[in-house]
Amino acid sequence: MSEIKLSAEQRTEFGKGAARRIRRDNKVPAVLYGHGTDPIHVTLPGHDTMLALKTPNALLSIDLGSDNHLALPKQVQRDPLKGFIEHVDLLIVKRGEKVAVDVPITVTGEAAADALVVTENATVAVEAEATHLPTEIEVSVEGLEVGAQIVASDLELPQGTALAVEGDLLIVNVTHAPTASEVEAELDEAAAEAGIEYDEAETPEPESANG
């Protein structure tokens, strides 16, 4: 994974008001921590940071003038409605150091026609060098029949990458694809358990001639 360079500025203002002013300037408040150092509060360029964080486990080279830090995003806070980045926690890493990260699972291929592919875990924890982290791990379900399962130990990991979870962790489960009638029956059963009754529409009685 190549490093993504971001120019940062030391931050001396704190609190919600300061954070709002930073975001109004199209910047992102962030904190660098790790390796026994005191937290370093910085601001990052908003647009460049948004683009950088589209890459899972992006390796960031944070330029602070005379200082430079390699860091990984550990927590990204986003506005729940608008989706813009509100704050980023960055973990300082060293070259050659091994770190544990969650890597997205990408399912490829087509299973058998009557099969339903269920991704039980969308990510898997692995350990790898901070400068050689995988951005995704592909899992092929091509031709798999109903009943097939793929567990963590079945994954093909890049060289230098090791699992950080138990090998029997279920990643993909290939089950029977329900028919339309089976789906309808399940809905009816769920409605019955919830106490919902579907009554036929009542036809109003005709009014009497004297009414």
Same domain, 112 and 186: yes
pLDDT at 143: 93
133 with 65, same domain: the answer is no
At residue 62, φ and ψ (nearest 5 deg) are: -95, 115
Per-residue pLDDT reduced to its tens digit, 105-137: 999 999 998 899 999 999 999 999 998 999 899
CATH of the domain at 160: 2.170.120.20
pLDDT band at residue 19, thresholds of 50, 70 and 90? confident
Residue 14 binned pLDDT confidence (cut-offs 50, 70, 90): confident
Domain that holds residue 22: 4-93
**What are the pLDDT digits (tens) for 138-167?**
999 999 999 999 999 999 999 999 999 999
| Phi-psi group of 8: left, alpha or beta (phi > 0 → left; psi -120 to 50 → alpha; rest → beta) | beta
- Please give the Cα distance from 6 to 72 (Å, whole number): 12
Same domain membership, residue 137 and residue 59: no
Q: Which residue has the higher pLDDT, 191 or 128?
A: 128
Interatomic CA distance for residues 190 and 177, integer angstroms: 19
Q: Kindly state whether residues 55 and 84 are assigned to the same domain.
A: yes
| 187 vs 77, higher pLDDT | 77
- The torsion region of residue 173 among left (phi > 0), alpha (psi -120 to 50) and beta comes to beta
State yes or no: pLDDT of 210 exceeds 60: no
Q: Is residue 209 part of a domain?
A: no
3-state secondary structure 141-177: CCCCCCCCEEEHHHCCCCCCCEECCCCCCEEEEEEEC
* Number of domains composing the chain: 2
Tell me, yes or no, whether 165 lies in a domain: yes
Q: Decide: residue 195, CB within 10 A, 0-12 exposed, 13-18 middle, 19+ buried.
A: exposed
| Assigned domain for 208 exists | no
Confidence category of residue 205, pLDDT binned at 50, 70, 90: low
User: Do 13 and 35 reside in the same domain of the chain?
Assistant: yes
Q: In this structure, are strands 98-108 and 123-129 parallel, antiparallel, or unpaired? A: antiparallel
Are 108 and 79 members of one domain? no
In a domain, 128, yes or no: yes
Residue 33: pLDDT band with limits 50, 70, 90: very high
**11 and 53 assigned to the same domain:** yes
Shared-domain flag, residues 108 and 64: no
Out of 33-42, 72-81, 173-182, pick the least confident: 173-182
Residue 174 lies in a domain: yes
CATH number at residue 65: 2.40.240.10
What's the pLDDT tens digit per position in 170-182?
A: 999 999 887 777 6
Range with the poorest average pLDDT among 20-34, 40-54, 95-109, 150-164: 20-34
**Are both 54 and 126 inside the same structural domain?**
no
Domain annotation covers residue 27? yes
Q: With 80 as the cut, is the pLDDT of residue 2 above it?
A: no
Query: Do 146 and 113 belong to one domain?
Result: yes
